Chains A and B, each alone.
Chain A
Amino acid sequence: MDQDNHNSMEPAGRAVPHLYWRLFASFFKIGAFTFGGGWAMISIIEREVVDKNGWIERDDFLDLLAVAQSLPGILAVNIATAVGEKLKGVKGSAVAALGTILPSFLIILAIAIFLTPDVIKGNKVISSIFMGIRPAVVALIVAPVISSAKAAKIGLKTVWIPLIVALMISLDLGAVSNPILYIFLGAVGGYLYFRWSRRKLAERKEEDK
């Protein structure tokens, strides 16, 4: 990675460990106090990284966001990795990513140790609470289907894609129900559509001449 990119906000030497520590502490705080995952985290990360600490310019942050959400994986961790990389290279990205992961890991581990499947089944109060929660969780996943369809500008011409994907995956037919297959097909299909529409455009330009 090129060195110019890691704009050193601190003078070299003794101040360096300090920045690592602040980077870790910032992302630890973000991981520990934001509910609702990636999208809810973005504004908080922006406040920490751009406004409070001045580590990154706002324009650069938006570019970095575009990269982080284009790649697979967990959005918050991707953003942390990219911010850390911009500030301090590979070590910075490791520190920032670890800071984001650690709070959820520790909290969930503490819960998982006590709330095992047997405890949920065996305790009447807990099992009745979860009986009410389960149908609500399903509804909470239906809501983002609609909002993501709006964001992806799904119209009459494209609505067949999510319909077929959802149907095939939930039918559970073995290999053809593998979500990875449809991610792959989507990427290839998008690429081919791009080439086709570019050729159409070129042909039309030819005709105009």
Chain B
Amino acid sequence: MGFYLKLIWAYIKIGIFGFGGGYAMLSLVEKAVVGPGWISEQMFTDIVAISQMTPGPIGINSATYIGYAAPGTVDPALASPLWGILGSVLATLAVTLPSFFLVLYASQFIRRHHESGVIKGIFSGLRPVVVGLIASAAIMLMNVANFNPNHIGWQLGVNIAISVVAFCLVFFPIPWKGKRIKLHPILVITLAGIAGYLIYGL
């Protein structure tokens, strides 16, 4: 039971301090769940990928998935679907409830004061921090587990190439039928999955 309390507390903190949207939240989530070993680094990256490929906010998707997978990883006695479902319900509620109440009670206050200098000042300080949070999530995922799990030189090269190509595909618009379009992240993940199967699976 103690683990579930820790899970709830971790996600309440993520809900309270998760400024700046899903990607900025990821660095908080990673610190909270990969740090104490609730989820492996690879599983965390996999869950981010699955959260991006399924509909809905990434914060909810990852809370539900991690809440399901973590109890069984931490304690083999909790490795049944029912304990997992309990974890996913608790994590999802814990990440949403703080902001739910904040929006309820603070929306009127901020609506009246969001032109005030104090609020503007606070957010002008938060914005560059949020950029740093997103960057830290990216840096923490640039690790051996994601790029070279088998410690084979050519695989590291291939994985860096996949990463660079994926970045170019989502970041630089490519000309298509007279317009310049950016590829959707879901399409890029799908292409990377196909590449992974062709390179490592055959």
Contact = CB atoms under 8 A, between A and B. Distances in A.
Interface of A: 1-2, 5, 31-39, 41, 63-64, 66-68, 70-78, 81-82, 85, 90, 93-94, 97, 100-101, 103-105, 107-109, 111-113, 115-117, 120, 124-125, 127-146, 148-149, 152, 154, 158, 161-167, 169-170, 177-180, 182-183, 185-195, 198
Chain B's interface size range is 35 or more
Pick the most buried of A33, A90, A136, A169: most chain B CB atoms within 10 A of its CB: A136
Interface of B: 13, 15-28, 31, 39-40, 42-43, 45-46, 48-61, 64-65, 68-69, 72-73, 81, 84-85, 88, 92, 95-96, 98-100, 102-104, 106-108, 110-111, 114, 117-142, 146-147, 149, 159-160, 162-164, 166-167, 170-171, 184-186, 188-189, 191-197, 199-201
Given A107-B54, A132-B200, A37 B22 contact: yes
Contact of B131 (A66, A81, A115, A162): A162
Q: Lowest 3 CB-CB distances: which A-B pairs, in order?
A: A132-B196, A190-B125, A73-B99
Secondary structure type dominating chain B contacts? helix
B100 to A, nearest CB: 5
A100 B61 CA distance: 12
Contacts of B81: 113
A72 B98 contact: yes
8 contacts: A112-B84, A120-B43, A129-B193, A130-B193, A136-B49, A140-B189, A146-B171, A161-B128
